Amino acid sequence: MLMPTTHLQEEVPAHPPPQPLRQAAPPWPSSERLEEMWLLGQPPLSRLLEFVGDTCIDADKVDRAALTAEWSAANDYYMELEKTQAGIATQGTHRELDPQFATLAAQVKTHPHFRRVFNTLPTSFGMVELDSLIVYQKHVTRNFVEARMARLGATPDAEALGRVCFPLGEPEASVQTETIGSRRYVFRSISTDFRYLEPTLLRSDQIAGYDSMGAVSGVVGLVVGFGSNFLNAVQVGKRVLLNNGYHRAVALRALGITHAPCIIQTASRVDELQISVRSRVAEDPEFFFESARPPLLRDFFDPRIYKMLPVRQRTRHIEVSFEVKEYLVTD
């Protein structure tokens, strides 16, 4: 077990990696219904069964024993891959950023979202090989992936590729807001990137369009919105883990694109991972950065691993509430 201050180790490749996938269209069956693509075989099994029970259409009719058997078969397959593809995660052909994306990268560096989020670890821009990206997210929504592919077109040019990886405009997803009490508000969106961001203290001159009932001394804002949404990853040695942009990365790979521009943070120890990636990665870094064959983005295209699950439409709800207390304090 790695101690918090221990340096993360880099594994020496044992076998040559298989050739990159070259699909030019989704290799999975399309459907009009909403479907989630799950990577079977990745622990814990209980998370899959919980998701099916909570989210799938006709969940009560799902053969849980058969689903468990499928998961176990995929888990056995992963054990095979640990032998036949040992070291593959260290052999990605990641490279420096292509010159055609230099201008866009310079714009991203000056953007407030970049300055606020990527201000702690060493950060660079590069071209990542999509097939070799380590993934911690076990599922993506097939419909979202195919919608992104449709917007990009069959042969996106460099400008379109850059803008989808480094979006600088407003989010495409809509948001609904509802007041459900004098001090309670609910925000809704179908976007998986929708989230509570942070609390902030604002001055009166930072508020526009608000008619106050009295002189304003300060405003406490509870900010709800979207993440920076840049395609970004974390690198440890020769391994690169995809941190944000799963639907876009799968869509690009399904279009036959092998490398994509990406923001890359470099970590050398567990403490640095804890401030740069989701908790599930920081809690088990050995699995992602030291195991012989961790889950990779290419697994979303392997029919022995992925499974389509019909799901109900889900909307992310964020409820914000607050309380106010007044005191008289004697000096």
pLDDT tens, position by position, 281-328: 888 899 999 999 999 999 999 999 999 999 998 899 999 999 999 999
- The span from the CA of 311 to the CA of 292, in Å, is 33
pLDDT tens, position by position, 121-164: 999 999 999 999 999 999 999 999 999 999 999 899 999 999 99
Question: Residues near 71 by Cβ (< 8 Å), separated by ≥ 6?
Answer: 40, 41, 45, 48
Which domains occur in the chain, in start order? 35-170+228-310 (3.90.1530.10), 176-227 (no CATH)
Pull the structure tokens for residue 146: 């195919």
Type of residue numbered 190 = I
Q: In sequence order, what are the beta bridge partners of 220?
A: 201
pLDDT tens, position by position, 246-285: 999 999 999 999 999 999 999 988 788 888 887 788 888 9
The pTM for the full model equals 0.86
Least confident of 12-16, 76-80, 123-127: 12-16
- The span from the CA of 303 to the CA of 77, in Å, is 11
